[in-house]
Amino acid sequence: MGNSKNKQTLTAAEISALWLQYLGDSMAICIYKYFLKIVEDNEIKSIIKLSLSLAEKHITNIKEFLKTANFQIPVSFTDDDVNLKAPRLFSDQFLLFYSYIMTLHGLTAYSLAITNCEREDIQNYYYECVKSSKDLFQ
């Protein structure tokens, strides 16, 4: 991996991890935007805001990795895939539980991605994802 051309190349495992996370985070953005419209508890609202912020940050980072490697950005979920005017469907406790479960899934996926990625910058990215998810979990 000595030359810059190789540094920009992505392995199949790296592409898989990035695409999977991209699709999951694009869906999470839709869900958390809806949750922010219906949440009533301010403590839970702050957790949902942080979750949304992390998902948006991930999308930005993944786009940069893929663009730099000349890979297509996945077709993903958008604002057209969620009705933000839908009536309240879930309790605040459910919103918190959903966020908790998604954080657990994220911690697992990011840890696995670290071990499957060859590029140090992508390993470091997933390490940061683990750290931010740990903070969200706590």
Q: What band does 6 get if pLDDT is binned at 50, 70 and 90? A: low
pLDDT tens-digit map of 9-51: 999 999 999 999 999 999 999 999 999 999 999 999 999 999 9
Q: Model-level pTM?
A: 0.90
The HSE-up count of residue 125 (CA atoms within 13 Å, CB side) is 23
Residues 6+ apart with CB under 8 A from 119: 1, 7, 10, 11, 14
Architecture of the domain delimited by 8-137: Up-down Bundle (1.20)
pLDDT tens-digit map of 96-106: 999 999 999 99
- Dihedral class, residue 5 (left if φ above 0, else alpha if ψ from -120 to 50, else beta): alpha
Q: Determine what percent of the chain is predicted with pLDDT higher than 70.
A: 95
Determine the 3-state secondary structure of 98 from DSSP: helix
More confident of the two residues 7 and 60: 60
The HSE-up count of residue 118 (CA atoms within 13 Å, CB side) is 10
- Dihedral class, residue 77 (left if φ above 0, else alpha if ψ from -120 to 50, else beta): beta
